[in-house]
Amino acid sequence: MTFRPSRRRRWLGGGLLLLLLLGLTGIWLGPRIEAALVLADMAAGTGPSLFNRLMPAPHRSSLHYMQEGHGYTADLYRPAQKARAGIVLVPGVQAEGIDEPRLVALAKTLARARFAVLVPEIPGMRRLTVHASDVRVIADACRWLALHPALAPDGRLGVGAVSYAVAPAVLAAMQPDVSDKVRFVLGIGGYYDLVQLLTYVTTGFYQVDGQWRHMRPNRYGMWVFALSNVAVQTAAKDRTILTEIARRKMADVNANVDDLAAGLGSGGRALYAMLTNTDRQRVPALIAALPPAMRRLISDLTLAGKPLGRLRAKLILVHGRSDTIIPYTQSVELAQAVASGQARLFLLDGFGHASLKNLSLEDDLRLWRAVNALLAERG
């Protein structure tokens, strides 16, 4: 989960001073001021902030743990003061994994806010891939954290994730062995229906209230999906070719890959045909033509059609209307798919894909309310 600093800090800067002055006069309560400090620290990323200066630095350590015979590696960020809640922070799909600087900065922010933060290593995400098995990694991290009352006092435990990791985080929170332990899920820029998302990332079409709209998609997400499917290719030759196609396209979306595509076998051609399609009406048939393992991966990692009634955790969802990787409508649909009152949705006009830039005063206030909601779950 990463945030990029904003050049415009009208509320996070001057507004923060106003909040502090109001707090000194007794008009606003401490938790609201804390939310402003936490948000300003998130916006600062790896840079300095008032919260950074006021709160003691957390302790980061690496650890290995076992769950049901499986061994895992993770980073644990312990607050300098007694933890008030635990949170499993899921790394994004990027090569640096749990060492990504902005992820580390966010983990430290949460630890300063007195969360015990567990960041599990998910090897596939370092390779820019997502797998159904990621759900079990996240669930086992929750199990481990729940077993340590000093890190998750009174059972206050949640999960935080961004982008393609949000759906696996929600699925993990639904697992029978942890569904009664995970109290909240913070999801930023996530998806609900993977078929709809694939329609968007390949053709640019998405639905708003049943009406089709078009927006130029960020192709990065599409090639991340391509790499995710490489692992389920049955032909070694297709795996090699598709990996090179995806990496070439991620480096330069206009790169010519005809020389590579010509060598694909039947399964690889089916995936390549879907990825290069621009007709939204063809998407269902193209998905149906994919090899069974690919269709199973799509089915496993979508939230649409899953028994979300089993989800006990509250959802705190943040999404930008200008997100060109995953349309904001995906978070809207997720919020509508759970029980009334179970989800709080914060839509921001200038919020890109987990990027704090070009924010209006209204967006700043919405983000502040989202942080307030998170701190309320902490207790």
Q: Are residues 106 and 31 in the same domain?
A: yes
Q: Are residues 161 and 140 in the same domain?
A: yes
pLDDT band at 117; cut points 50, 70, 90: very high
Last residue in a domain, options 301, 327, 347: 301
Is the CB of residue 354 less than 8 Å from the CB of residue 189?
A: yes
Is residue 65, in this structure, part of any structural domain at all?
Answer: yes
CA–CA separation, 128 and 155 (whole Å): 33
Q: Are residues 216 and 159 in the same domain?
A: no
CA–CA separation, 292 and 267 (whole Å): 10
Strand 157-162 and strand 115-120: the pairing is: unpaired
Q: Are residues 297 and 333 in the same domain?
A: no
Q: What is the mean pLDDT of residues 328-333?
A: 97
Q: Which pLDDT tens digit goes with each residue over 185-240?
A: 999 999 999 999 999 999 999 999 989 999 998 877 678 777 776 767 678 898 89
Q: Are residues 93 and 37 in the same domain?
A: yes
Q: What is the pTM of this model?
A: 0.88
Q: Which pLDDT tens digit goes with each residue over 172-198?
A: 999 999 999 999 999 999 999 999 999
Distances (CA, A) of 60 to 23, 40, 96, 125, 297: 32, 21, 17, 21, 34
Q: Are residues 231 and 352 in the same domain?
A: no
CA–CA separation, 65 and 72 (whole Å): 5
Q: Which two tokens stand for residue 116?
A: 């015990």
More confident: 358 or 205: 205
Q: Are residues 288 and 320 in the same domain?
A: no
Is residue 339, in this structure, part of any structural domain at all?
Answer: yes
Is residue 2, in this structure, part of any structural domain at all?
Answer: no
Q: What is the mean pLDDT of residues 249-261?
A: 90
Q: How many Cα atoms within 13 Å fall on the side-chain side of residue 298?
A: 21
Look-up: residue for tokens 């001057």?
14
Last residue in a domain, options 270, 301, 332: 301
Is residue 212, in this structure, part of any structural domain at all?
Answer: yes
Q: Are residues 131 and 166 in the same domain?
A: yes
Kindly report the CATH number assigned to the domain that includes residue 96. 3.40.50.1820
Domain span at 208:
194-301
Is residue 5, in this structure, part of any structural domain at all?
Answer: no
Q: Are residues 292 and 319 in the same domain?
A: no
Q: Are residues 163 and 19 in the same domain?
A: yes
Structural domain total, the chain:
2
Last residue in a domain, options 252, 269, 301: 301
Q: Are residues 175 and 198 in the same domain?
A: no
pLDDT band at 344; cut points 50, 70, 90: very high
CA–CA separation, 248 and 81 (whole Å): 47
Angle (CA) 85-89-92 rounded to 5° is: 165
Is residue 101, in this structure, part of any structural domain at all?
Answer: yes
Q: What is the mean pLDDT of residues 328-354?
A: 91
Q: Are residues 353 and 218 in the same domain?
A: no
Strand 59-67 and strand 314-320: the pairing is: unpaired
Which pLDDT belongs to residue 327? 94
Is residue 4, in this structure, part of any structural domain at all?
Answer: no
Is residue 1, in this structure, part of any structural domain at all?
Answer: no
